[in-house]
Amino acid sequence: MTDKPTILPTVQSEASKAGTSPSKTLQAGTLQAKAGPQNPVLLAGRFPADFVFGVATAAYQIEGAARVDGRRPSIWDAFSKMPGRVHDGDTGDIACDHYNRLEQDLDLIQSLGVTGYRFSIAWPRIVPEGTGRINEKGLDFYDRLLDGLNARGIKAYATLYHWDLPLTLMGDGGWTARSTSYAFQRYAKVAMARLGDRIDAVATFNEPWCSVWLSHLYGVHAPGERNIEAALAALHVTNLAHGLAVEAIRHVAPNVPVGLVLNAHSVIAASDGAEDKAAAERAFSFHNGVFFDPVFKGDYPQDFMAAYGDRMPVIEAGDLAIISQRLDWWGLNYYTPMRVAHDASPEAAFPAVTGAPPASDAKTDIGWEIHAPAMGSLVETLYARYELPQCYVTENGACDNTGLVDGVVDDRMRLDYYWQHLSVTADLIGKGYPIRGYFAWSLMDNFEWAEGYRMRFGLVHVDYETQARTIKASGEWYRALASAAAG
Residues designated catalytic: 207, 395
How far apart (Å, rounded) are the C-alpha atoms in residues 21 and 168?
Answer: 43
Give residues with Cβ within 8 angstroms of 82, minimum separation 6: 224
How far apart (Å, rounded) are the C-alpha atoms in residues 241 and 323?
Answer: 8
For the CA atoms of the chain, what is the radius of gyration?
Answer: 21
Amino acid at 146: L
Query: Is 469 within 8 Å of 462 (Cβ atoms)?
Result: yes
Closest by CA to 417, choosing from 335, 327, 303, is: 335
Please measure the distance between the N-terminal and C-terminal CA atoms of the chain and give it in whole angstroms. Answer: 50
How far apart (Å, rounded) are the C-alpha atoms in residues 449 and 165?
Answer: 14
DSSP per position, 50-106: TPEEEEE--HHHH---TTSTT---BHHHHHHTSTTSSGGG--SSSTT-TTTSHHHHH
Q: What is the DSSP secondary structure assignment for residue 163, as one 8-state letter? A: S
CA dihedral 42→43→45→49, nearest 10 degrees, is -150
Q: How many CB atoms lie within 10 A of CB 18?
A: 11
The beta strand positions in 299-389, using DSSP E, are 329-333, 338-342, 353-355
Q: How far is CA 264 from CA 10, 195, 200, 209, 335, in A?
A: 15, 29, 23, 8, 10
How far apart (Å, rounded) are the C-alpha atoms in residues 331 and 439?
Answer: 10
Closest by CA to 187, choosing from 201, 166, 173, is: 166
- Measured at the CA of 12, the angle between CA 72 and CA 289, to 5 degrees, comes to 75
Give residues with Cβ within 8 angstroms of 69, minimum separation 6: 125, 135, 137, 138, 140, 141
